């Protein structure tokens, strides 16, 4: 089972649900299943079939560089977060 933490800006589509559990093997499958349950989520996470610019996928506390192709292990926790950049 995969655990998806729904960002506050998407909870209007999930009826306020903050955590969703599902079976999925890749990040792409997670988004497809979320969109099947809660239409409109994919449109907010993707543009032209890719993750929106400025959006990061964090899996088990680590930012994924593989995007939608990233394979998931059972028990994975996923967060969709605005990407942070900058520095001093």
Q: Which two tokens stand for residue 74?
A: 């059972």
CATH code given to domain 2-82: 3.10.20.30
CA atoms 58, 67, 41, 47: torsion sign: positive
Q: Give the position of tokens 């994975």.
A: 76
Domain extents for the chain?
A: 2-82
Model pTM?
0.90
pLDDT, residue 84, reads 63
Query: Digits of tens for pLDDT over the chain (88 positions)?
Result: 999 999 998 999 999 999 999 999 999 999 999 999 999 999 999 999 999 998 999 999 999 989 899 999 999 999 999 866 555 5
Angstrom CA distances, 53 to 16, 30, 61, 66, stand at 25, 18, 20, 14
């Amino acid at each position: 089972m995969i655990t998806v933490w729904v960002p506050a800006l998407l909870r209007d589509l999930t009826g306020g649900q903050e955590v969703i559990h599902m079976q999925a093997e890749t990040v792409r499958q997670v988004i497809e299943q979320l969109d099947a349950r809660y239409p409109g989520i994919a449109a907010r996470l993707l543009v032209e079939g890719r993750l929106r610019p400025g959006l990061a996928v964090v899996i088990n506390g680590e930012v994924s560089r593989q995007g939608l192709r990233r394979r998931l292990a059972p028990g994975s926790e996923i967060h969709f977060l605005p990407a942070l950049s900058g520095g001093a």
